[in-house]
A and B are shown apart, each in its own frame.
Chain A
């Protein structure tokens, strides 16, 4: 089953400002498991890409926050998730765009982010 995860950055990832609970190692783990991953943030797309490159993670997409719906049309997956920390710009936007939504703390508890045994 193909799963796509869109990460907000600030308040969601450990490298965000403010830092969030999801570590870059957790991102690597889901990517190694075959998830499609990328970021959807108010940070400029060029700085999102720089951030991922800095951590040597080759993401599938990096888009501005209001362009989340386009990610769904660009990628074929069985399930689409967006993880973010804001009610309006993350949760409401995700649901409008046809994504499932997880708060960062909820997401961090998902078994996806556990390493393979």
Chain B
């Protein structure tokens, strides 16, 4: 079975599409997470392949289905944004051969293919639909939701795995080359030779502060709240390995990476995998967990006029994304119980939530909003998952949190100031990402 990258036609990326045709007819039921680690220790059982299998099996069991009932798999084949396998370093064949390998020895070590997963999960005897999504769990979720809605799969696993290698992030791959293309050399985060990855966001944030009379210090309550929520997320890196609060003093005394973005405005790369089991609303009734219905998915495909988007472009795109999200779900901003928009980089979270008009916010309001009660106990929770800041770079805590909150199994992180009924999650970038609306009921 050849696995294709999802076609652009599966995404809802323009305004005016109306209510999603599968609104409330697709549900997420099962959740599976692997343990986290800062870096791979070289063992087969801690490889990204092994973590992914663990997450998938947990999600299947959590949903209460048998593996042979699974007929679909959507995954992201790329498992890093900056821990590229060094060209001059041999792939450890003892690890490769600890599994059923594919033709590419990096499979399960520094990338994932559907073929590798199927070969190493012999219990998946009935998978007839596989598809790749680019980059993030946010994209994989959208593709899987559309696939189930379209009838391409009935019980579909959704997977994202992350690996992180020893050494410094983003110093391998093309950064280790003697020459890089000019556009790579000057684009933020593309290579070691360009500006830091957070440069573009920092520039937009600086423009934002100038335009609205705000400052970097005003981020501190958001950062503290995010880490607090992350420490209440037992699946997360900080909760598992370094249960440290991030105080305002810690945050504000940190060094600049690209002023006004400091070290903690960036997330920490980790090893981890997560999987979900999506199904039809009808089938979900007979499964082990409360269904979380998908009301809509929407995508942003903003195009900047230059290398780095301007504040005005970001604000226009996030506002359009907000309109797409609500239009397809048939809801308004007032219907959102909580939000879990992306935060890695921390300084673009406010663009996402202002675009949503969350709690009536307008452009320029978010940093003032951060000075109010944004806790999970209050009426206006912000990023209840804690996001990447709270649990490490995975880009999926926000989705898991939406499901767990609505299913009533978020534990110590449970929202108490609002009843978790409808939520939105997604990302990554304000100028390009994929977003999902989750609901406790199908209508």
Residue positions of A touching B, CB distance < 8 A? 17-18, 42, 44-47, 50, 64-67
Contacts and interface: CB of A to CB of B under 8 A. Distances in A.
Interface in B225-273: 241-242, 244-247, 249-251, 253-256, 263-264
Q: Which 4 residue pairs across A and B have the least CB separation, nearest first?
A: A44-B250, A66-B255, A47-B244, A64-B253
B242 A47 contact: yes
Contact of B253 (A18, A47, A50, A67): A67
A45 B253 contact: yes
Q: Please classify the interface of chain B as helix (H, G, I), strand (E, B), loop, or mixed, using the class held by over half of its residues.
A: loop
Nearest to B263: A42
B39 A46 contact: no
Nearest to B247: A46
Contact of B244 (A17, A42, A50): A50
Nearest to B39: A18
Chain B interface size, as a band, is 10 to 19
Contacts of A65: 255
A64 B244 contact: no
B244 A44 contact: yes
B38 interface: yes
A87 B397 CA distance: 34
B249 A46 contact: yes
Nearest to A86: B168
B166 interface: yes
30 contacts: A17-B38, A17-B242, A18-B39, A42-B254, A42-B255, A44-B244, A44-B246, A44-B247, A44-B250, A44-B251, A44-B254, A44-B264, A45-B249, A45-B250, A45-B253, A46-B244, A46-B245, A46-B247, A46-B249, A46-B250, A47-B244, A47-B250, A50-B244, A64-B253, A64-B254, A64-B255, A65-B255, A66-B255, A66-B256, A67-B253
Nearest to A63: B253
Contacts of A18: 39, 166
Given A18-B166, A45-B250, 10 more contacts: A17-B38, A18-B39, A42-B254, A42-B263, A44-B244, A44-B247, A44-B254, A44-B264, A47-B244, A65-B255
B59 to A, nearest CB: 29
Contacts of A17: 38, 241-242
Nearest to B246: A44
Contacts of B263: 42
Contacts of A42: 254-255, 263
B143 to A, nearest CB: 35
B227 to A, nearest CB: 10
A42 B244 CA distance: 14
A65 B253 CA distance: 10
Nearest to B41: A18
